[in-house]
Each structure stands twice: as structure tokens, then as C-alpha cells.
Structure 1
Amino acid sequence: MKDVIALVTGGSRGIGRGIALALLAEGVTVHVTGRTRFEAEANQAGSAGSLEGLELEAAKLPGRLFVHRCDHASDADNERLTEAIRAGGRLDILVNNAWPGYENMVEDGEFTWPKPFWEQPARRWEAMIGTALRGAFMMSRAVAPLMISARRGLIVNISFWAAQLYEGNAIYGIAKAAADKMAADFAHELRPHNVAAIALYPGLVRTEAVLENAEYFDMSNSESPQFIGHVIGGLWRDPALMSKSGRVQIAAALAREYGIADVDGYRPVPLTAADFVRDAGPSAGPTELQDS
């Protein structure tokens, strides 16, 4: 993977950080975006993770890391990022992961995430649709010509079961369903150019936010943040990648197909829609906590 170049959006913490570290461990050159540049900023905001912290972890890995301070709600930031990526002349893998949708889940002491859609704050729509979904579209739009020119590429939208099942928040479901549809339609238009696009579902990921609330989760089948990154590496190496393009893929199922274990040697059990239907009930919040 030492000749592969990837871009991971939203990688200062959570799943995005794990994906970046996994790809770096496989020798990939990885560009990572994030809003939090320095650890001091993260500490001041009371959050975990920064691009600076990622750089420290990446220093001992074989891949090369390039960090970009970028707020994907800003067209100016997106354009600067696009220019930097295009200047390199090539991009093999794009992971659309940036997700501010879990911010401000508590407002004035009230947990507003599970409120019905008519009581949802408009800013939550803007975070999930106006920033996360639009950012995924704009980044894909910007780098697709590089992949088309190379006659090879992979676009991954990090999504989740909320696209297919009710997960406690209507806007969340709309955003994830749109991410799946975006990947499917991108795949249709990119197929003649041998470029793949998929929607990839993680399981319960041990992000910083999940670990802080571990007592509320069954962690027995959880995944490290790096796990899905190694699965993306497996996708890139898969000679049958184009047969998977346009379809929803479950990270744990792909890992079993590719013979990939998690960093601790555990092999997560792939979840299905039936697992969520069986456990259906009032949702306290999203179960994968992308946290990026």
C-alpha cells in the first residue's frame, strides 16, 4: 500500500482518526482533515483529539501523513483543501467521514437527540445535511476527476443502519440514507471509469465518546477505530472491488471475507438489520457514535 494516496475527512478523533492510523500502518500516504489543529484547543474545548495528536501517533508508522485544518462547513476551507489535493496530481481513496451531527446533543440541560422531528433544532439539520452530507458531495466532486484520469479509485461514505431502520432521530436517518444513495448513484456514473463508490457501515466502535459511556453499551462485540480502516485497505486490494461498488457493505462482514482481524485479534460478528429489529425500542442515541 506504500504507493496509495488517501484522503480521510474528519480525522482528528473517533472513527476518522482510526481509519487514518490503520491506513498509515499499511504504508499509505494519508491526507487528513479536522477542525481541531492542536491539543491545547481540544483541551480548552473539553474534547478529545486533534490533528497534532494524530501527528504524534503517526510518527512511528510507515505511511506519510499530511494534516489539513478544515471546517467542511466552509467553502473557502474546502477549496483550499481541494487545491492541495489536486496539486499532488493523484488520489486513490477518499473516505467521507467528517460528521458534526453529534454535537450539542444536550441543550440547556436537556438531551434533545430523541425528540420528534417537529421539535428538532434546525441547526441539527444544518450539521448533518448542510455540512456532513454536502461536504461528502463536494469532496467527491472535487477528486473524482483525478480518479477518472487514473482509471482507478475508491470513494467510501461512512454510513450506518439508521439509513434503513429508525435509530431515534429522523434527521440522522435522512442523512445516512442520503449517504447510501449518494454512493449508489456515484457508483453508477463512475463505473465506466473503473472507479468504485460504496457506503460502509461500522459496528459499535470504541471511540472516545463510546469509551466515556462504556457502562451504557454492550462492548463484547465492539470494534477498534482502526478496524474499519484496515477493512478499507482490504477493499482497495480486492480484485473484485467493482462488483461491490454501489452497494452497502458491512465492515465486519468484509473483514471476514478478507481474513482481517481487529487490532486485538478479535473478529467482530457482522450485524444485520434483524439485530436492530430484535432490539428495537426507544433509542437513547446513535449506537456507532462516529465522533468526528
Structure 2
Amino acid sequence: MAPLVGKVALIRGASRGVGKGIALGLAEQGATVYVTGRTTAGAAPPTPLPGTVEETAAEITSMGGVGVAISCDHRDDDQTRAAVRRVVDEAGRIDVLVNNVWGGYEYFWDGTPFWEEAGFWTQPLERWDAAFQAGVRAHYVTSVAAVPTMVAAGSGLIVNVSSEGAEKTDTGVAYGAAKAATDHLIACMAHELRDHGVAAVSLYPGLVRTESVLKAAEFIDLTDSESPLFVGRAVAALATDKAVLRHTGQVVRTNSLSNEYGFTDPG
């Protein structure tokens, strides 16, 4: 039997990209995976990229898990709380929460030439607001809603998808500040959750071959890139580790986890 059969995960922002890869990585291990997103079948897509939450849910099921799609705009606290409540009402538990939704990337598809936002003083304040509302705040609100179920069970795993941008100064002010806040959010949550048996980590993927990255592949060196499913296998490895609390409060990287747990990138 796959090790995550009977376990329940909630992956925020899984219509495509890293979120979808994480959902499929958990599906490989038999988990029931609830996936949220704004891109739903039959509705006007919020971005020009492919993928819907229903398609992700169907792939989860086809890979041996159980996929459930939830339409949710995580900029709306009420929608976020309702999504968590649905998972708890239907499944009775949340074993893994992955906070993957992010904002502030709108210039990739809203037609803004990148050179027009080369400095933070040239960017509309909405870029900052999007990074902190759809990202940091939504991570916090979702965790607040999900943690009581984990604490009651005495176990659980929270993963914030972050990046090395939190540690650098050349990735943009709003992006870097929001990612650093995401990492510190995890460190503080881990401090309070450790005694309840709940682990919390920040996960740094490498360069991931998401739909948006592949769209710009002619401008990017993909030599050392990784697939979204590789990121998913990293989360699945953490989720199946009975001693995962040794990682709590830490930044963990996909490549380091691959070396530790022995999973590979399917390419």
C-alpha cells in the first residue's frame, strides 16, 4: 500500500506549475489531495497559461490518489476559510498543507515590458500588495484555519513554497521582502507548533520548468532546472517521514531532500 493512502493534503494554487507538481507528487503516494485555484473549467482564465484545478484533480486520481478541485481566490479570506472548512467537513482531517499561492507576477502576462519596472520605484504599489496579500497573508490565513485540526490530531506538516529570493538582494524589493516574510512566518509557526507534533518548513525549489518558465525558455538556461513533479516528490518525502519534526522551522531545498530521501526527477 502506498504510504500516503488515507492521508489528506490541501495544496493551494495547483491549477498548474509548482502547485500542480506537488499535488501529483502526493498522488503518487496515494494521498487524497484537495487542490485550489482560480482557473476553473468553463470560466474565463485569470492568466493566459494552460491548466485548471479540475484537470489537476483528474490527474491526481489517474495517478493513484484521490483528487478534489476547489475554486478559490485566496485573496479573499472568506473563500480561503471556506476551502479549509470544506476539506475538514468532507475528509475530517488535514495532514499536509502546502501554501503555494503567490502574487506580484502579473507583469508576466499583463503586457508590461519588463524594462519599465526595472526598479521598485517604477512599479505600481499593487505589485507589493499582490505579493503580501495573495502570498504572505493568504499563507497565514490558511494556516490559522487549518492548524486546529492538525493540533487536535497531534501531527501534520505545513510547507510554504518559498525561494532563494528571500536571501538575495537582486530579485526585486517586493518579491524578496515577501519571501523573507514567508520564511520567518514558518520559523515562528514552527516554534509554537513543535510541542503539538506539527512540522512547518519553507521549501526552496530550484529553477522549475513551469508553464511560464517554458514560455520564456529561449531566454533562460534550463540546464540545471527541475520538473514540477520533482518538487512534489520532495514534499511527499517530507510527508512520509515519521521524523519530519527534525526539519521544522528550517529552510529545506529540493536537491538536498533528494540526496537525503533518494527520490529522483522524472525529467
TM-score, length of structure 1 as denominator length: 0.85
8 Å CA contact 1:39–1:53 kept in 2: the answer is no
CA 1:55–1:143 in 2, change beyond 3 Å: closer, same or farther?
closer
CA 1:109–1:170 in 2, change beyond 3 Å: closer, same or farther?
closer
Aligned position for 2:133? 130
Q: Deviations over 1:242-278 (max 9, x none)?
A: 11100111111111110110113xxxxxxxxxxxxxx
Local SS of the residue matching 1:142:
helix
* Structure-2 separation of matches of 1:109 and 1:141: 35
Q: Aligned-pair distance for 1:221?
A: 1.3
2:122 equivalent to 1:140: no
8 Å CA contact 1:112–1:120 kept in 2: the answer is no
Aligned position for 1:104? 107
Q: What is the CA RMSD across the aligned residues, in angstroms?
A: 1.8
Q: Deviations over 1:16-75 (max 9, x none)?
A: 011111111210100100001116634x95321111322342342211011100000112
Aligned position for 1:76? 78
CA 1:80–1:239 in 2, change beyond 3 Å: closer, same or farther?
closer
- For these two proteins, the number of residue pairs brought into alignment is 263
Local SS of the residue matching 2:15:
coil
* Structure-2 separation of matches of 1:39 and 1:217: 33
Structure 2 segments unaligned to the other structure (5+ residues)? none
Aligned match for 1:66, one of 45, 68, 78: 68
Structure 1 segments unaligned to the other structure (5+ residues)? 265-292
Aligned position for 1:41? 44
Q: Among the aligned pairs, what percent are the same residue?
A: 41
Aligned residue runs from structure 1 range 160-179, under 5 A:
160-179=163-182
Q: Deviations over 1:152-187 (max 9, x none)?
A: 110000000111112331000000000100000000
* Structure-2 separation of matches of 1:107 and 1:225: 24
Local SS of the residue matching 1:68:
strand
TM-score, length of structure 2 as denominator length: 0.93
Aligned position for 2:161? 158
2:267 equivalent to 1:245: no
8 Å CA contact 2:77–2:141 kept in 1: the answer is no
Aligned match for 2:213, one of 184, 204, 210: 210
Local SS of the residue matching 2:212:
helix
What amino acid does structure 2 have at the position aligned with 1:78? Answer: T
* Structure-2 separation of matches of 1:70 and 1:259: 34
Aligned position for 2:123? 120
